[in-house]
Amino acid sequence: MFVTAQTVHYGSAILQLIHYLAQVLRMSISMSPTLYCYHCRTYHARDGMRLLVSKTGKRWRCIRSIELARRAISEREAFGRRVSAINKAEVEEKTRKSSNPERFAGK
Ligand SMILES: [Zn+2]
């Protein structure tokens, strides 16, 4: 099949028209495909958004930031548990040392 420069140009014009019509169609189907995320202070796709109801009202926040925050909290909790476990071990060690009778054997 031989394609001349003219037919290529004609074909791309039709493709551009189809692309434009698809865009118009998408816009008419959903007038607000993005929602404002109060957490990121920007707009995200509606699919990844979750409506949160608080005292101040309803606000949209992206699921991604909610998941990230949840992960950060659980990591902080895990860190806190680790620190308190170390502290507990240290206290136990000190208690064990101070109550060691050998330490007072010389007196
Ligand atoms: Zn967001």
Find the 52 Cα to ligand 1 centroid distance in Å: 12
Find the 51 Cα to ligand 1 centroid distance in Å: 12
Find the 31 Cα to ligand 1 centroid distance in Å: 20
Bridge partner list, 44: 35
What is the per-residue pLDDT for 26?
Answer: 67
Which burial class, exposed, middle or buried, applies to 44 when counting CB atoms under 10 A from its CB (0-12, 13-18, 19+)? buried
What is the per-residue pLDDT for 5?
Answer: 63
Find the 101 Cα to ligand 1 centroid distance in Å: 61
Q: What is the pLDDT of residues 34-74, one digit of tens each?
A: 999 999 999 999 999 999 998 889 999 999 999 999 999 99
Bridge partner list, 15: none
Q: What is the pLDDT of residues 12-45, one digit of tens each?
A: 887 887 788 777 766 655 555 899 999 999 999 9
Question: What confidence category does residue 86 fall into, taking pLDDT thresholds of 50, 70 and 90?
Answer: very high
Using CA atoms in the order 94, 95, 96, 101, what is the torsion angle rounded to 10 degrees? 110
Find the 38 Cα to ligand 1 centroid distance in Å: 7
